[in-house]
Amino acid sequence: MKIQWLLLAIAVFVAGCSPAENTTSESQPQPSQVAAAAESSGSDIPRTPSGRPDFNGIWQALMNANDNLEPAPPKAAYHLVPGDFVPVPGPEVVAMGASAAVPASFGVVEGGSIPYKPEMIARRDENRENWLTRDPEINCYMPGVPRANYQPHPFQVFQSDSAFFIAYSFAGAVRNVFLEDPGPAPLDSWMGQSYGYWEGDTFVVEVTGQDDRTWFDRAGNFHSYELKVTERWTMMSENHIMYEATMEDPQVFEGALDYSTTNLPSSRRGL
């Protein structure tokens, strides 16, 4: 039995370098650059006819970052009410059965904790306590980015030289990744606006214009409308993607803290 791995790295920054500084030469690759990439150490990965890594297929993350990006012990539920001896799941959660239980999370953020501004921690805790009514996932809203990529549901990538499209199985969410800079998003939306370009064999996607009602996970971790997500998709083998995401939000986060890389099991389930 072959096991495939998708690596997930999450980072949160208040400020970062401008993407414009590294897109000019990479967005229009020359034939010699593509040929060199094909002959590089990643030559064993699937490639398109033009030599780019081929992400076409159905993928699924098989770990629980969707429950909590930070390390956390297991517990009966996010929604608890006072019990005779200890807090117990509320009646609404009991009706959901084991699906509402909270598994342990080893965390995917470098440093262990998200660098919230002090006044924002209270809002995160309030979100967590009111998970049953506030979590966008429970309300079947589109999950936003990066959460859509590590929900426990498959998604499909459609890629060609002129298009990059991702279809998610949860809530009918989709992403059309622009391959030419479209400028600022005209309005905020659940999945935001995605603009992608190549840095060698890594596909970099900048996501802006996301609705501030999306969460990062079930634990109430949130963002504002100023969120910018920078994803890095790097194919390591036929069934293995290194996925990294950096979140910048000057309203919610403080400091400049890197978040760690952790193993995220995944499988490429079809082409």
pLDDT tens-place string over residues 41-95: 456 899 999 999 999 999 998 788 899 999 999 988 888 888 888 888 888 888 8
Nearest alpha-carbon partner for 59 in 168, 206, 146, 138: 168
> What does the mean pLDDT of the chain come to?
81
**Residue 175: both structure tokens together:** 């992403």
Instruction: Give residue 221's pLDDT.
Output: 96
Q: Locate the domains of the chain by residue range.
A: 5-70+105-270
Instruction: Give residue 199's pLDDT.
Output: 97
What's the whole-model pTM score?
Answer: 0.80
**What is the signed CA dihedral for 190, 192, 198, 199, rounded to 10 degrees?**
-90
Instruction: Give residue 143's pLDDT.
Output: 96
How much is the average pLDDT of 211-237? Answer: 95
Residue 139 vs residues 218, 224, 254: alpha-carbon distances, Å: 12, 19, 29
